Amino acid sequence: MKKDGKSMISKAMGHVSFVIRKCLFFILSMGPVPAHIAFIMDGNRRYAKRRGLQQDSTDPNSGHQVGFKSLISNLQYCYEMGVKYMTVYAFSIDNFRRDPHEVQALMELMKVKIDELLTEGGLLKKFDVRINFWGNLELLTDPVRVAAKKAMDMTVHNKGPVLSVCVAYTSTNEIMHAIEALVREKREKVQIRVCDLERNLFTAGCVEPDIIIRTSGETRLSNFLLWQSNFTHLQNPNPLWPEFSLRHFVWAVLKYQKVHGYLKKLNGETDKNK
Ligand code: FPP
Ligand code: MG
């Protein structure tokens, strides 16, 4: 009986917050809606430490677990607001230099979460999401690479939002990868145009990010989408990634809307000068 009461309350709360989001996103959609938001999900370990979630060094994952929940919430906000592309920096090539226990634990978490995403009734199905994994996937553990490839194959025809997960990624590596592909493609033709290179980046076919948000107040881009961020509005809000909630999301979009006209003008001027 008690349990029924609790589940009714949580259902009602879920409904209320859905209605609030609908109203907020309706108001925001009066202004320009970003087509692509990219996140550098920083601050998971600090969150775990501050909240006392991390029991000891054998449990390096608790912050990343909550971080994954935040990823799902923000994907839902993007979906409900009509943002077509969401890209997240989940693991950089440099992150392989972290404590091997943490790297292994994070690989295991990713495998579990990718499988979870793919289950019947999972988020990818619910929102008809197409998922990409961008990076040097050879560097991943076998189970993660297999799961990532399966997820990409299973969702390739989905028509909903596009979630791109950068794993074993750096911009430098992406650009090197594109140059190698282009050299193989061009063979003896020496001239390489910028558009040829762009066609070979992982991000080909995806619009450039309108906003890059790096949580935890950090201001560095850390080798993330360097090629693609020429006209991107960079934001570095203070909350740690697991704390980045609806109000921070709404605020980020409002800040973008304030500078949108200016960025668009700059972009147009540069196009003319190309
Ligand atoms: C950065 O915080 C976060 C990461 C390096 C990992 C993020 C990964 C996930 C949330 C899981 C994603 C899984 C899938 C399947 C997409 P940090 O470790 O740098 O924290 P700190 O700055 O407080 O040290
Ligand atoms: Mg960090």
Residue 4 has pLDDT above 50, yes or no: yes
Residue at 115 is within a domain: yes
The lowest-confidence range among 79-88, 121-130, 147-156 is 121-130
Residue 224 has pLDDT above 50, yes or no: yes
Instruction: Name the more confident of 270 and 139.
Output: 139
Residue 214 Cβ inside 6 Å of ligand 1? The answer reads: no
Residues with Cβ within 8 Å of 236's Cβ and at least 6 positions away in sequence, in order, are 213, 214, 215, 217, 218, 219
Q: How far apart are alpha carbons 26 and 81 in whole angstroms?
A: 8
Say which CATH number the domain at 218 has: 3.40.1180.10
Residue at 152 is within a domain: yes
Residue 240 has pLDDT above 90, yes or no: yes
Which residue lies with its CA nearest to atom 6 of ligand 1? 90
To test the ligand 1 pocket, which listed residue (39, 40, 44) has its Cβ within 8 A of the most ligand atoms? 44
Residue at 271 is within a domain: no
Residue 46 Cβ inside 6 Å of ligand 1? The answer reads: yes
Residue at 273 is within a domain: no
Whole-number pLDDT of residue 7: 80
Whole-number pLDDT of residue 226: 97
Provide the total of helices (H) and of strands (E) in the chain, helices listed first: 9, 6
Distance 95 CA to ligand 2 centre (A): 9
Whole domain around residue 189: which residue ranges? 35-255
Contacts within 8 Å (CB) and 24+ apart, 270-274 = 270/230, 270/231
Question: Two tokens at 113?
Answer: 């979460």
- Mean pLDDT, residues 226-236: 97
For the chain, percent of residues with pLDDT exceeding 90? 76
Residue 67 Cβ inside 6 Å of ligand 1? The answer reads: yes
Residue 224 Cβ inside 6 Å of ligand 1? The answer reads: no
Residues with Cβ within 8 Å of 84's Cβ and at least 6 positions away in sequence, in order, are 35, 36, 161, 162, 207
To test the ligand 1 pocket, which listed residue (47, 49, 64, 110) has its Cβ within 8 A of the most ligand atoms? 64
Q: What angle do CA 110, 113, 118 make, to 5 degrees?
A: 125
Q: What is the pLDDT of residues 96-126, one digit of tens each?
A: 999 999 999 999 999 999 999 988 777 788 8
Query: Of the residues 42, 128, 153, 271, which is catalytic?
Result: 42
Going by pLDDT thresholds of 50, 70 and 90, the confidence category of residue 83 is: very high
Residues with Cβ within 8 Å of 201's Cβ and at least 6 positions away in sequence, in order, are 174, 175, 178, 227, 228
Residue at 17 is within a domain: no
C-alpha distances (whole Å) from 218 to each of 117, 130, 225, 238 are 29, 29, 16, 8
Number of domains in the chain: 1
- Mean pLDDT, residues 176-192: 83
The lowest-confidence range among 137-146, 155-164, 188-197, 254-263 is 188-197
Residue at 264 is within a domain: no
Whole-number pLDDT of residue 61: 85
Which residue lies with its CA nearest to atom 24 of ligand 1? 45
Q: How far apart are alpha carbons 176 and 219 in whole angstroms?
A: 25
Q: Which of 142, 145, 127, 117 is nearest to 84 (CA)?
A: 127
Q: What is the pLDDT of residues 56-78, one digit of tens each?
A: 666 778 999 999 999 999 999 99
128 is catalytic: no
Which residue lies with its CA nearest to atom 15 of ligand 1? 110
Whole-number pLDDT of residue 56: 63
Residue at 269 is within a domain: no
Residue at 109 is within a domain: yes
Which residue lies with its CA nearest to atom 13 of ligand 1? 110
Q: What is the pLDDT of residues 39-61, one digit of tens each?
A: 999 999 999 999 988 766 667 78
Distance 267 CA to ligand 1 centre (A): 32
Residue 90 Cβ inside 6 Å of ligand 1? The answer reads: yes
Q: How far apart are alpha carbons 46 and 66 in whole angstroms?
A: 12
